Structure 1
Amino acid sequence: MKRSAYCVVFFAILVLVSLSYGISVSGQSLPLPTPPNTEKSDEIEDLIDSELFVGAPSEVIEAFFERHGIAYSFNEFGNRYQAIIRDVVPELQVVQSVVIRIDLDSEGRFAASDVGNDFTAR
C-alpha cells in the first residue's frame, strides 16, 4: 500500500474510535447523539390528521394553530403556513424543535402537511 492509503486507513480508524467513545474537546467528552424524541412531533401529526383535511380553508388552518397555542406565519412565496415549536426536550444537550409545514393548493386550501424534528446546539 502507498503511504497515502495508510493515512486514509489510519484516519478512518481514528474517526471510528472517536465516534464510539465520544469525541473529546478540551478534555471534555461530548456525549454521543441520542435518538430524537418524536413524542411531540407525533402528537402534532396526530392533531393535524384528526382536525385538518384536504381542502380545508385558510381560516380553519389558522384556527388550528391558534387553538393549540402554536405561533405560525404564512410564507407567501412557498404558499404555506409554517411554525416551529422550540426546545421540546429541555434536558437534551441540543435544542430540539418541531417544524410544521402546511402546504396549500392554488386556491389557498390545505393540500399536505409535513412535521419533522430539527436540532441545533445550545
Structure 2
Amino acid sequence: MISTTAPTKVEIADVLDKAIEVIDRVGWHRGYLYDEEQCEEGTAFGECRVDMLGAINTAVTGSPLLGVSKRRLEDRIALADATALAVARYLKIPAIPRQIAWWNDELERTADDVRNAFRDTAAELRAEAAA
C-alpha cells in the first residue's frame, strides 16, 4: 500500500502562488488544461496557455499534465487535487477537483478572475495556517 502525506495549507498556498506565475508567464486559456491549437502550431508544450487546472499542474510538475514529472505520481495527484479542492471551496462550488475547470470555462470568466481566486485562496490558507 502506498501512503501519501496530505499537503499542508502552506504547501497548497505556495502552489497557488506558482500557478499565478505560470498564467502570467504563458497566458490563460479556456477549454482544456492547455491550448492544444497553440501547441500544434509549434509553441513549446510548456509555453502554451493554460487553464486553472493546467496552471496548478504546471506549478506542481512543470507541465500541464500531471504525468510528466520525476515526483511520485501519488504525491503529484494529492497536491494538485488538494489545491483544486481548496480553490473550489473558496469559490463555493462543489468540492470536486475538476469542478474548477468548469468555473474557469464560463464565458464571463477572465484571467484576472482566475488570478484573484488563486491569490485569495492562498491568503485564506495562510491565515488559517497561522491561526
TM-score (norm: length of structure 1):
0.31
Larger strand share, 1 or 2? 1
Which of the two has higher C-alpha Rg? 1
Per chain length, whose mean CA-contact separation is higher, i.e. which structure has more relative contact order (CA < 8 Å, sep 6+)? 2
